[in-house]
């Protein structure tokens, strides 16, 4: 008797019967950039199809996204002014806080996640307070080092200000030690026990963030992020980061980037089977597909759906992706075709 795997591949109906991995629009999270620096939507050269939205137009864009059935949006703010300590990040009238109020008024059913970090708000572009630059300093640490504990208070203030403005979930992305515990404590003390924390628990120091730093205007003015983000060579260390964040009260974990880290997603899923897991299909991954598609070298739709399927197959529940809007439309079409 000969085994014939091809029997199940004979036609579309048989193939769909043994289809193992399904991505649905509800699994997708769309990042959104909101800006205080312009009154017009601004395109981003390295991320075709993605815009920086002025606060007074962002609610309309979110309304359109809500119609596609995607699961949530993730907001990043680009403030009009920056300073050494990133004080604009927790301003009740800051760019993210005003955007949150507008979105929650217009589309209250949409789940809104906010990025909690300092890099878009500091004039040096780093994710925390810097040794020797602001009031905080530590003679035992190198100059220009991102200080850990002095930054935690600021992160907690940002998270509370986002919760006050209507955030459902806060997502700290700076890879500082103890950030989840600091944020959980502050949210609970302020009466926001129902606000979840989706931690960027295993975020690598990656070259694939290039286009994002363009989009958010948050590239470091000196040095890099290697003293807080993870070494791409490490996977055991990611398990340690996840475990700490779970112990500190994280409601969800993340691996970022996604494509060069599918093994990390799989290891995380196996080690933490019962914690929701997000993967961030980052800006550089998006830009590669868009560039190749524009050259006619890839079929964009098929490449995107294959990529999203592979991230889900590796073990992610949720995928943060700049393809969310197009992918949601394509996925809905495919479901209708099969039925």
Q: Which residues bind ligand PBG (CB under 6 A)?
A: 115, 117, 119, 127, 173-174, 209, 212-213, 225, 282-283
> For residue 205, which phi and psi values (nearest 5 degrees)?
-75, 90
For the question of residue 290 being annotated catalytic, the response is no
> Rounded to the nearest whole angstrom, what is the least distance from the CB of residue 47 to ligand PBG in the complex?
9
Q: Which is nearer to ligand PBG, 71 or 257 (CB)?
A: 257
> Rounded to the nearest whole angstrom, what is the least distance from the CB of residue 89 to ligand PBG in the complex?
11
For residues 196 and 188, the answer to whether their CB atoms sit within 8 Å is no
For residues 163 and 170, the answer to whether their CB atoms sit within 8 Å is yes
For residues 27 and 332, the answer to whether their CB atoms sit within 8 Å is no
> Rounded to the nearest whole angstrom, what is the least distance from the CB of residue 209 to ligand PBG in the complex?
4
| Listed residue (143, 272, 287, 280) closest to 204, CA to CA | 280
Q: Which is nearer to ligand PBG, 154 or 335 (CB)?
A: 154
Q: Which is nearer to ligand PBG, 102 or 171 (CB)?
A: 171
Q: Exposure string (b/e) for 82-117, b if CB count within 10 Å is 16 or more?
A: beebbbbbbbeebbbbbbbbbbbeebeebebbbbbb
Q: Which is nearer to ligand PBG, 115 or 245 (CB)?
A: 115
> Rounded to the nearest whole angstrom, what is the least distance from the CB of residue 327 to ligand PBG in the complex?
15
Q: Which is nearer to ligand PBG, 88 or 174 (CB)?
A: 174
Residue of this chain nearest to ligand PBG (CB atom): 212
Q: Which is nearer to ligand PBG, 21 or 282 (CB)?
A: 282
> Rounded to the nearest whole angstrom, what is the least distance from the CB of residue 336 to ligand PBG in the complex?
30
> Rounded to the nearest whole angstrom, what is the least distance from the CB of residue 282 to ligand PBG in the complex?
4
Q: Which is nearer to ligand PBG, 192 or 209 (CB)?
A: 209
Pick the catalytic residue from 82, 104, 256, 290: 256
> Rounded to the nearest whole angstrom, what is the least distance from the CB of residue 102 to ligand PBG in the complex?
22
Pick the catalytic residue from 82, 203, 290, 312: 203
The residues annotated with a catalytic role in the active site are 203, 256
């Amino acid at each position: 008797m000969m085994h014939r795997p091809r029997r199940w591949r004979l036609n579309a109906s048989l193939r769909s019967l043994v289809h193992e991995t399904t991505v649905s629009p509800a699994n997708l999270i769309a990042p959104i950039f909101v800006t205080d620096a312009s009154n017009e939507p601004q395109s981003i050269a390295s991320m075709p199809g993605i815009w920086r939205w002025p606060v007074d137009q962002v609610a309309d864009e979110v309304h359109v996204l809500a119609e596609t059935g995607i699961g949530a949006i993730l907001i990043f703010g680009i403030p009009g002014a920056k300073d050494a300590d990133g004080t604009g990040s927790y301003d009740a009238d800051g760019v993210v806080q005003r955007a949150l109020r507008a979105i929650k008024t217009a589309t209250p059913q949409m789940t809104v996640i906010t990025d909690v970090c300092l890099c878009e708000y500091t004039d040096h572009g780093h994710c925390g307070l810097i040794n020797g630059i602001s009031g905080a300093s530590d003679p035992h640490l190198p100059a220009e080092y991102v200080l850990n504990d002095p930054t935690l208070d600021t992160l907690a203030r940002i998270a509370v200000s986002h919760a006050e403005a209507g955030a459902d979930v806060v997502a700290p992305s700076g890879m500082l030690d103890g950030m989840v515990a600091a944020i959980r404590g502050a949210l609970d003390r302020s009466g926001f026990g129902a606000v979840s924390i989706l931690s960027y628990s295993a975020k690598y120091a990656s070259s694939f963030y290039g286009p994002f730093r363009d989009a958010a205007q948050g590239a470091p003015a000196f040095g890099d992020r290697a003293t807080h983000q993870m070494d791409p060579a490490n996977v055991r260390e990611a398990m340690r980061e996840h475990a700490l964040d779970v112990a500190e009260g994280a409601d969800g974990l993340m691996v970022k980037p996604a494509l060069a880290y599918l093994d990390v997603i799989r290891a995380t899923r196996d080690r933490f089977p019962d914690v929701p897991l997000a993967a961030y299909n980052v800006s550089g991954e998006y830009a590669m597909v868009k560039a190749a598609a524009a050259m006619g070298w890839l079929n964009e739709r098929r490449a995107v759906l294959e990529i999203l399927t592979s991230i889900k197959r590796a073990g992610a529940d949720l995928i943060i992706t700049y393809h969310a809007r197009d992918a949601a439309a394509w996925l809905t079409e495919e479901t209708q075709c099969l039925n």
